[in-house]
Amino acid sequence: MSNPILSDWNTPFQLAPFDKFSDEDFAPALELAIAEHRAEIDAITANPEPASFGNTIEALEAAGAALDKVLSVFFTVAGADSNPQRETLQREFSPRLAAHFSEISSNKALFERVAAIWARRDSLGLNDEQARVLMLCHRSFLRAGAALQGAQDARMKEIKGRLATLGTEFTQNLLTDERDWYMELAERDLDGLPGFLIDAAREAGREKGLDVPVVTLSRSIIVPFLQFSARRDLRERAYRAWAARGANGGATDNRAIAAEILALRAERAGLLGYDSFAEYKLETEMARSPDKVRDLLMAVWAPAKAQADADAQVLTRMMQADGVNGPLEPWDWRFYADRRRKAEHDLDEAALKPYLQLDRMIEAAFDCARRLFGLEFAPLDVALYHPDCRAWNVTRNGEHLAVFIGDYFARGSKRSGAWCSAMRAQARFPRVQTPVVINVCNFAKGDPALLSYDDARTLFHEFGHALHQMLSNVTYESISGTSVARDFVELPSQLFEHWLEVPEVLTEFATHAETGDPMPKEMLDKVLKAVTFDMGFQTVEYVASALVDLAFHEGNPPTDPMERQARVLADLGMPHAIGMRHATPHFAHVFAGDGYSSGYYSYMWSEVMDADAFAAFEEAGGAFDPERARALEDNILSAGGSKEPDVLYTAFRGRMPGVEALLKGRGLAAR
């Protein structure tokens, strides 16, 4: 084909040749790809042969290859390197794609074929993986509304289209607020700030065409500013802007969008016969029900709040000793917590940061993957979508396994946060394809780029997701890699974070940016002892967000989400000086799409398992025990969604865990 996106990619490992694409290629490519996918679906339904696993289920697995190519390229650049034209295209594509996939999921003739195969499933001689793919396919049709008729069917299509549009608007409003706000700093405002933060602020200013340093709403800049700036007035101004994302009034305000999304989700669940969207959403997760989610969150909330309340008293006394009257505020917490950490652990993050060079932390993640799973990473010289990106060929025993792409630096064209996605997922049907996996982060650029400990943890977290994709070894793409229950998908990522805390890893890779010296043992010991420092704060801000998310999706949807949020926080006794990690107007996990809706709890559900899973290594031969590593790969990382999550975890560990390991790991267990 003449369109470069749809033509054969004669590149190493068939990587997308980004240097051959222009934004003008996307719309016609999408048009052609949707038409091709529709023709493939029509061919399945028109097949005169009786429905079989091969001519229906496997045919569905094989369909849509051209559309996958277009979407993998477009959504990669739309999220990580957007521009006004791409934002316009995204607004146009979202309802179009929602309508297309809704057309497929509500195709009565197609569903009849799937249902006919499902009815004969026990006589088909399917292997375990095929039986799993059939079950998931049949269930997805039912949950998408394929059995609905008439007006209900039509309304479901309308809801899906509108939700797609609203999710895109929510995301773009948030990106606009984050991109447009900045606070210029005079030279006197830099007093007391560490060098790495000053460098990052100057770089952020240059990106905006200014010759002065600026504070932006990138987490890698605003969090250390709140942590280190002695200027309480500037901290307040920056924090209020950060907290107000999506709630500034005008065209980018997300509050009405959130309300409409919640109402449409509730209506969608009602059409399918569920009492609430939470019941609908959690039916296919490990948790199964809202009650089980709440039980977990509240079991953690009580000790976390008790710790946070005690910490707040200490920080308030420190603030008062500085002559600051009034209550401890959210823009004060990080500043005084950092002082306290220096006093109690003698750990200065400004002194620590030169030891956490981005390139060395990437090397550390790669080395852990080598020692655990035998993976090797060799740099690739290929065209990518932005100069900041880098790529590696991932091999094992000389055999190509995957391509890994890293896009690590914050910029105005990138949405906030960090994520992992597969531009191509692993599969062996209808053809053998190796994965192309990308990690996107928002670290401050520098020369060299230095990370906070939290940044380094984020790098390991996203690389854990990447390993789940790269080590996948299944037949069908629909169950490949991270295609698992939402409250299971965070297990590999959170588990891999533990290797950052292994002393021998930091000893080898935490080397000083200027001297090259390894981190002194005294500092290393302090870092490891301080891992659970301020965990009351971190746990409270997270659990509050998860409980608000759950409350949004239970029962009748709120007409005013902000009022529901306030009521939930009041009932919890939310500490005044701690804000939600993600307040409603910028809660992209929940409102940018359905992925984490009613599911933000899943990080903690997975943490119950990751704490227990790492304990399995410690109980065996240590962090790099080969038998435990093999069991982890065989039963979890390579298995994708081929079995139920509890079956996979039990196969690895021999049992399911309790909450005790999590509380101990966060330093919240009763002493």
CA–CA gap between residue 373 and residue 306 (Å, rounded): 41
Residues whose CB falls within 8 Å of the CB of residue 192, separated by 6 or more in sequence, listed in order = 228, 229, 230
Strands 390-396 and 214-216: unpaired
CA–CA gap between residue 468 and residue 239 (Å, rounded): 35
Q: Which long-range contacts (CB under 8 A, 24 or more apart) does 564-570 make?
A: 568/544, 569/544
The SS3 assignment for 534 reads coil
Q: Which of 61, 203, 285, 462 does the annotation list as catalytic?
A: 462
- Kindly give the residue spans of alpha helices, DSSP state H, lying in 322-393: 330-345, 349-352, 358-373
Structure tokens that stand for 115 in this block: 């249902």
CA–CA gap between residue 504 and residue 91 (Å, rounded): 48
- Cα-only R_g, the chain: 25
The answer to whether 618 touches 627, Cβ cutoff 8 Å, is no
Residues whose CB falls within 8 Å of the CB of residue 666, separated by 6 or more in sequence, listed in order = 300, 304, 532, 535, 539
| Residue 462 annotated to the active site | yes
CA–CA gap between residue 107 and residue 44 (Å, rounded): 11
> Cβ–Cβ contacts within 10 Å for residue 119, how many?
11
Dihedral over Cα of 289, 294, 297, 299: its sign = negative
CA–CA gap between residue 549 and residue 555 (Å, rounded): 12
Please list the active-site residues.
Answer: 462
